Amino acid sequence: MLTAWMARCGIHARTVDKRSTKIYSGQADGLQIRSLEIFESFGFCDRAWKEANHLIEMCMWNPGSDGVIRRSDRVPDVPVGLSRFTEIVLHQGRIERFFLDHIKKHSKDSIHVERAVVPETLDISEDLCDEHSAESYPLSVKLRHLTDDEAAPAQNKGSTTSDGLFRSNLAEDDTDALIEKAKEKQGTSEIVRAKYLVGCDGAHSWTRRQLGFQLEGEPTDYIWGVLDIIPITDFPDIRMRCAVHSASSGSLMVIPRENKLVRLYIQLNEIKPDASGRADRSKITPETIICAAQKIIAPYSLRYEYCDWYTAYQIGQRVGTDFDYKNRVFLAGDAVHTHSPKAGQGMNVSMQDAYNLGWKLGLVVKGIAQPSILRTYQSERRRIAQDLIAFDHKFSRLFSGRPAKDILDESGVSMADFKEAFLKGNLFAAGLSVDYGASMLVAKAGDASEQGDGTDVSSQTRVVGKQELATNIKLGMRFPSFKVLNQADARVWHFQQRLQSDGRFRLIVFAGNVLAPPQQARLTAFCAALSSCSFLAPHLYTNIAVLTCHSAKRIETELLRDVPAVLHPFDQRTGWDYDSVYVDDASYHEGYAEAYAGYGVARETGCVVVARPDQYVGYVGALDGDAGWEAVEAYFRGVFV
Amino acid sequence: MLTAWMARCGIHARTVDKRSTKIYSGQADGLQIRSLEIFESFGFCDRAWKEANHLIEMCMWNPGSDGVIRRSDRVPDVPVGLSRFTEIVLHQGRIERFFLDHIKKHSKDSIHVERAVVPETLDISEDLCDEHSAESYPLSVKLRHLTDDEAAPAQNKGSTTSDGLFRSNLAEDDTDALIEKAKEKQGTSEIVRAKYLVGCDGAHSWTRRQLGFQLEGEPTDYIWGVLDIIPITDFPDIRMRCAVHSASSGSLMVIPRENKLVRLYIQLNEIKPDASGRADRSKITPETIICAAQKIIAPYSLRYEYCDWYTAYQIGQRVGTDFDYKNRVFLAGDAVHTHSPKAGQGMNVSMQDAYNLGWKLGLVVKGIAQPSILRTYQSERRRIAQDLIAFDHKFSRLFSGRPAKDILDESGVSMADFKEAFLKGNLFAAGLSVDYGASMLVAKAGDASEQGDGTDVSSQTRVVGKQELATNIKLGMRFPSFKVLNQADARVWHFQQRLQSDGRFRLIVFAGNVLAPPQQARLTAFCAALSSCSFLAPHLYTNIAVLTCHSAKRIETELLRDVPAVLHPFDQRTGWDYDSVYVDDASYHEGYAEAYAGYGVARETGCVVVARPDQYVGYVGALDGDAGWEAVEAYFRGVFV
């Protein structure tokens, strides 16, 4: 994800991976709604959507009074009406493929993921960290190149079923061993000088160790196994997402996958951590895991002829103390938050860490944005990690606990509580409840450090947007989506689709009723201020794309007559821009005008919104030539150099 | 398209093209709804849908009483509610790319389009034509291989703007010249022995000439130019599909395309055919064409900096006398029907010729179907070509004619007539009115030769389906689409999406209310007959896929308990089939159960439908164990060996 941003922003970057291959089986698989929106903003959501299995319904199976499991509930997997997307499931290797293809295309084949390369030393020139000149490279990393064979984990050699235990949190880290091996064999090494370094290097993060930062939190005694199999079963809901609580054999989650595969998360009650707190990996095989599953799912039969992958993990929730070092070295993903995988959050939240950081780095490296915006990475994402850990703590205990026999069984888990936690957690799990706090990037009222993780992200030019002008375009949350029509060709788009991840901010002009003379006058004044603003005019179109949505009747409106030229600029070679002006009006084939109502914007008078390059809402204000414009300018003065 | 079918059916085939490259610019661009359904059945519609421009609205511009053009009408480009697709526009080179990728994948890289290869002689062993043994190869074709340079048309060398005139019907055929050149240079030649040959070799078809068949019809005096440009204009509807009739400078059609391109079809009033009936190509340049366009579109300005491609053509309608020779040599596309391109029919109808023929050839070559089914190619497609030519004759005259000044101006074209013709032609143009006549493949009442082009396609075992059991699944028309849910996982599908083009017939069981005991009994009897039928059982799943849609409540129905196993067969290695049984019930995110009503099938009692491998409806009948089953068997006895 981070490399994708580097490719999109045109940043010279290198990406190294200690493993010698991409993922070919197993690992993460769930893609939440927000991740799909992000994929769409990069232009490859359709590939995932087509190949993936779609999760529509969640079925809950619990023991009846006779101790036999039965289906107690069916609920939609994601709330109805929440999004044009649902949760989908696709193996991580395909997702890596989409990213690799995207990076290749947008970097013009100049950035590759370099495999079988391990970092050996990190040197930081402390005095250069605050110096943001083009020639300042405060970081120096020694990289060592392994052969493919050296980089392959011992467990993975020669087996038929893919064994994922070597990547599990039950396994020791092998980074140091790899470095030692490479040194012994005198593998090639090189020194890379860099302005920034991001460690997306997992729970055992080498980068985090160099910085001396900690993951705080405790493991539990719960050990779970994971199987990717083509199941042969008479269990009725094997193609539904299921949570199965057995009376006394533990719990199981069913995640139906693409190509007839089903992923099973299976509680391994018979395997416990030893005195050192670590479980014996040698006892964990596909056979022991399926045996545990059979006990849970009885009286239904369950077996397989084909197993694609398996692993196991120990549940625990930990969050990093620090997400960055002097805004020069950053940590993302499992390097700063680990938890159980069953809510499908790991890959999604980790990608979203990098999605948050990438464009900020891109704009700072290019000298467009002030380096201070990098502080918002920890403030925004560490807060999310804390929320995630709290969510997972609650959810995984409810899932791993023994179901209560009856209302008097206080040591058991109430299945009503479990269902409620699932439903409540749905919006969070979909990734749509993310609400970044006030900062130079979010013109929100309130205390910036209280709303984040405590990091100082206050802006010198404090701007507070007028939330009441767009009640459903929440400051700090992602720009929501409703259908609009292109004024020039009447095609329907989800408005969010026009906010592509190309590193540009969006100035979104809800132009209101452009055919009403007073509103036309306000719009004209605003556009005049826009084109004549000496601070912003140079950024227009290059760093700030302009999108318009008006509310007049489409067929009564003429783009060239009724919409100021700055909103659909003329190009000497290609003529007028026909892709920037939209209208909230009825369509022939896809229903009626609901965008202004959905966004909570007044149809006559509209408003102005600034969306960050990651689609999060930075500013909402009035469409006014003077006061309205000054606030927009002040917002960008807090962001741009 | 034909090669795609060969790849899907696993047929050993070769495809040769006299040109040395695929299309890189210009040529056909419109994709009609039926073509998109076909692309979807091959699995690549999404690629076209994503890259293409979507045509939503058609605007009509006509002269007012002052002679100045103004917009007189806006109509939806395709009728509302007709389909999940609309008309889209994408340059032919991309469409060829999708096919080439598909062929590569499904032929396991064994079939390639061999370029710069011309046929030199065709020998037919007359006595072998009716002998359908595996060793019988009645055809022998001599192929000559050119160098790329030899195969490149003279006009295409060294120009900056792509000149499409060399492919236009204004140009002479160069096949003989290419053959002569190759002979002189002693280019490599080879003899290919074949069971079947299909000439998709254009209006000048070499194959047609070898057979001595004619194209019947006359050219008109209307000459039109075509420009693919990025327009710089103040014409308001340049991103709409437009028909512009000027008072006295001719007509123009606007087709907005992908990547800011717009295609203009422009009547060239000042260029006329000479005494030989042929226009002087040397007068036709991008400059002369844009000048003609400027006169038509005045008072609006129109110019360009970038021209991607241009060509010109002379309007005429011609249809082939014969579409096959002894069912061994076939002709498709422009080889048997030529007409004007403005209704976007050429590429679509031509692809659909090959789509009709490919699976029939595939099944006959594999020894599954009787060779007599090949007779339906001419009967079905020549009739379509005749309808097309009649449509184009009317439409192109209305479009090329001078608009009437007023109601008394009888030599002018009434703009009301033009609009009516457009609206009436819409269903035809979308490709959805195709209605194949009675034959061994279509169990329809009435006279087989009257319903086709006169070819004898009567079946030995005449079966007539019961249309009244599925009033909107019309015998001879394509299986329409409504949304259904997968019983096993609740995912919504357009039912037509489950009729993939893999060479298999579909037995579609509308199982009705499977939870009602009488209906359950009927279904059980039908399924028992299905599994025990000695003629059909060997074809089940391999040549006849089984799809079910029932009408009981999804959540009250259990797949394994309520639906007979033959409808979702068990596999030793992969367990039960979860992809074959659907339900017409409400979905969480995509609306309510409307499939049975849409199909016109009784919810309680259902019916049985057979769809051919090309999705056209072959049979409709009752879901009965005895009489119902016998008719299904009789249908297939008329088709399979």
Picking from A67-81, B54-68, B270-284, which range would have the lowest pLDDT averaged per residue? Answer: B270-284
- Residue among A234, A239, A588 minimizing CB distance to B489: A239
Structure tokens at A21: 């291959």
Task: Identify all chain B residues contacting A80, using CB atoms and an 8 Å cutoff.
Answer: 588-589
Does pLDDT of B619 surpass 70? yes
Q: What is the helix (H) or strand (E) element at residue B423, kind and residue range?
A: helix B415-429
Give yes or no for a contact between A109 and A13, defined as CB atoms under 8 angstroms apart: no
User: Does A101 score more than 70 pLDDT?
Assistant: yes
Closest Cα in chain B to A558: B236
Q: What residue of A is the nearest CA neighbor of B306?
A: A573
Task: Calculate what percentage of chain A has a pLDDT beyond 70.
Answer: 98
Max avg pLDDT among A267-276, A400-409, B308-317 = B308-317
Sign of the C-alpha dihedral, residues B445, B448, B450, B453? positive
B222-B228-B229-B231 Cα dihedral, nearest 10 degrees: 60
pLDDT band, residue A156 (cuts 50/70/90)? low
Asked whether residue A165 is assigned to any structural domain, the reply reads: no
pLDDT above 70 for B158? no
Q: Give the integer Cα–Cα distance in Å for B197 and B189.
A: 18
Query: Is A490 within 8 Å of B572 when comparing Cβ atoms?
Result: no
Write out the DSSP string of B477-508.
SB----EEEETTT--EEEGGGGS-SSS-EEEE
What is the number of domains present in chain B?
A: 2
Handedness of CA A302, A307, A308, A310 (dihedral sign): positive
Burial of B579 (0-12, 13-18, 19+ CB in 10 A): middle
Residues B509 and B607 in one domain: yes
Cα A506–Cα A511–Cα A517 angle in degrees, nearest 5: 155
Across A8-92, the runs of DSSP E, i.e. the strands, are 15-17, 30-31, 53-54, 57-63, 69-76, 88-89
- Residue B230 resides in a domain: no
**What whole-number distance in Å separates Cα of residue B142 and Cα of residue B493?**
48
Q: Are residues A74 and A194 in the same domain?
A: yes
What positions of B carry a catalytic annotation? Answer: 29, 257, 265, 341
The answer on B541 and B498 residing in a single domain is yes
Angstrom CA distances, B223 to A283, B172, B265, B277, B563, stand at: 81, 16, 10, 11, 62
Judged against a pLDDT cut of 80, whether residue B299 lies above it is answered with yes
Query: What does the pLDDT look like over B545-590, one tens digit per residue?
Result: 999 999 999 999 999 999 999 999 999 999 999 999 999 999 999 8
Which one of B53, B575, B587 has the shortest CB-CB distance to A232?
B575
Q: Using CB atoms within 10 A of its CB, is residue B117 exposed (0-12), middle (13-18) or buried (19+)? A: buried
| One domain, residues A63 and A96 | yes
Q: Measured between alpha carbons, how far is A469 from A236 in angstroms, rounded to an integer? A: 50
- Taking residues B42-57, what's their average pLDDT? 96
ipTM, interface predicted TM-score of the complex: 0.93
Helix axes B415-429, B375-400, angle to 10 degrees: 160
> Which chain A residues have a beta carbon less than 8 Å from that of B105?
none
**Residue whose structure tokens are 């970044």:** A436
For B28, B252, B268, B307, B349, the CA distances from B311, given in Å and listed in that order, are 11, 15, 12, 11, 21
Measured between CA atoms, the residue of chain A closest to residue B301 is A575
Name the residue with tokens 């819409």.
B426
Classify residue A446 as left (phi > 0), alpha (psi -120 to 50) or beta.
Answer: left
**Whether B597 and B480 share a structural domain:** yes
Chain A residues lying within 8 Å of B50, measured CB to CB: 46
Dist CA A37 CA A505 (whole Å): 17
* Residues A22 and A146 placed together within one structural domain of the fold: yes
Residues of A in contact with B61 (CB under 8 A): none
Q: Would you say residue A541 lies in a domain?
A: yes
Answer yes or no: is pLDDT of B420 > 80: yes
Q: Which residue of B has its CA nearest to A88?
A: B491
Contact B552, B562 (CB under 8 A): yes
In A111-263, alpha helices (H): 148-151, 175-184, 206-211
Question: What are A472-488's pLDDT values in tens digits?
Answer: 999 999 999 999 999 99
**pLDDT of residue A179 exceeding 60:** yes
- Identify whether residues B490 and B589 lie together within a single domain: yes
The closest of B439, B477, B466, B453 to B385, measured between CA atoms, is B453
The answer to the question of residue A128 being in a domain is yes
- Asked whether residue B18 is assigned to any structural domain, the reply reads yes
Q: Which of B574, B580, B587 to mutate to test the interface with A (most CBs of A within 10 A)?
A: B574
On the 0-12 / 13-18 / 19+ scale of CB atoms within 10 A, A346 is: buried
Kind and range of the H or E element at A338?
Answer: strand A337-338
- DSSP per-residue string spanning B599-636: HT--TTT-EEEEE-TTSBEEEEE---TTHHHHHHHHHH
Q: What is the mean pLDDT of chain B?
A: 92
Residue B200 lies in a domain: yes
Q: Please indicate whether, in this complex, the C-beta atoms of A560 and B233 are within 8 angstroms of each other.
A: no
| Residue A316 and residue A220 in contact, taking contact as beta carbons nearer than 8 Å | yes
CATH of the domain at B545: 3.40.30.20
Last residue of a domain, one of A291, A314, A337: A314
Residues in chain B: 641
Q: Which two tokens stand for residue B428?
A: 């035809």
Predicted local confidence at residue B107, as pLDDT: 95
How far is the C-alpha of A565 from the C-alpha of A575, rounded, in Å? Answer: 12
What would the mean pLDDT of B600-614 be, rounded to a whole number? 98
Which of A239, A297, A559, A580 to mutate: most B Cβ within 10 Å? A239
Is the pLDDT at B389 greater than 80? The verdict is yes
Q: How far apart are CA A463 and CA A466, in angstroms?
A: 10
Q: What is the pLDDT of residues A400-450, one digit of tens each?
A: 888 888 877 888 888 888 888 888 888 888 999 999 999 999 999 999 889
Domain range for B162: 2-217+316-429
**Residue where a domain terminates, one of A314, A348, A369:** A314
Tokens of B561: 């308990």
Confidence band for A357, pLDDT divided at 50, 70 and 90: very high
For chain A, say whether B71 makes contact (Cβ under 8 Å): no
pLDDT of residue A205: 95
State the maximum Cα–Cα separation within chain A, in Å, rounded to a whole number. Answer: 79
- Give the whole-angstrom CA distance, residue B476 versus residue A619: 58
d(CA A215, CA A208): 9
Peptide bond into B480 cis (omega under 30): no
A491 with A368, same domain: the answer is no
B632 and B566 in one domain?
yes
The pLDDT tens digits for A104-120 are 999 999 999 999 999 99
Helices (H), B315-401: 346-365, 375-400
- Smallest CA-to-CA distance from B44 within B82, B83, B7 is with B7
What residue ranges in B235-301 does DSSP mark as E strands? Answer: 241-245, 251-256, 262-267
Tell me what the pLDDT averaged over chain A comes to.
Answer: 92
CATH classification at residue B208: 3.50.50.60
Asked whether residue B302 is domain-assigned, the answer is: no
Is A443 contained in some domain? no
Residue of chain B minimizing CA distance to A257: B489
CA–CA gap between residue A120 and residue B199 (Å, rounded): 65
DSSP states of B383-402: HHHHHHHHHHHHHHHHHHSP
DSSP β-ladder status, B215-233 and B262-267: antiparallel
Set of chain A residues whose Cβ sits within 8 Å of the Cβ of B559: 236
Q: How confident is the model at residue A27 (pLDDT cuts 50, 70, 90)?
A: confident
Least confident span in A291-300, A323-332, A512-521, B179-188? B179-188
The pLDDT, as a whole number, for residue B577 is 98
Is A113 found in the same domain as A82? yes
Token pair belonging to A145: 């190149």
Instruction: State which H helix or E strand residue B522 sits in.
Output: helix B517-532
Peptide bond between residue B236 and the one before it cis (omega within 30 degrees of 0): no
Lowest mean pLDDT segment, chosen from A225-229, A444-448, B160-164: B160-164
- Three-state DSSP at B428 gives helix
Final residue of a structural domain among A256, A285, A314 = A314
Could you tell me the CA-to-CA distances from B601 to B471, B494, B527, B583, B615 in Å, in that order? 7, 17, 19, 13, 18
Q: Which residues of A are catalytic?
A: 29, 257, 265, 341
Pick B231's closest partner by Cβ from A56, A57, A575. Answer: A575
pLDDT of residue B508: 98
CATH of the domain at A267: 3.30.9.10
- Distance, in Å, from the CA atom of A20 to the CA atom of A154, rounded to the nearest integer, reads 12
Instruction: Give the integer Cα–Cα distance in Å for B310 and A399.
Output: 66
CA A533/CA A633 separation, integer angstroms: 8
Tell me: pLDDT of B369 over 70.
yes
- Joined tokens for residue A563: 């919409």
Least confident of B72-81, B191-200, B273-282: B273-282
- B361 to chain A nearest CA, in Å? 30
Contact A329, A207 (CB under 8 A): yes
Question: How many A/B residue pairs have CB atoms within 8 Å?
Answer: 104
Residue A203, Cα to own-chain centre: how many angstroms? 18
Same domain, yes or no: A201 and A329: yes
A50 to chain B, any CB pair closer than 8 A? The answer is yes
Task: Supply the DSSP symbol for A542.
Answer: T
In angstroms, the Cα distances linking A243 to A59, A398, B9 are 6, 11, 42
Local structure of A290: helix, strand or coil: helix
Residue with tokens 């209605």: B435
Asked if the Cβ–Cβ distance from A573 to B80 is below 8 Å, we say no
Residue type, A173: D
**CB–CB of A313/A341 below 8 Å?**
yes
* Partner A contacted by B494 (CB < 8 A): no
B37 and B177 together in one domain:
yes
Q: Which residues of B touch A259 (CB under 8 A)?
A: none
Q: Is B573 on the interface with A (CB under 8 A)?
A: yes
Examine the pLDDT at A146 and tell me if it is beyond 90. no
CB spacing of B86 vs A589 below 8 angstroms: yes
Chain centre distance of CA A242: 24
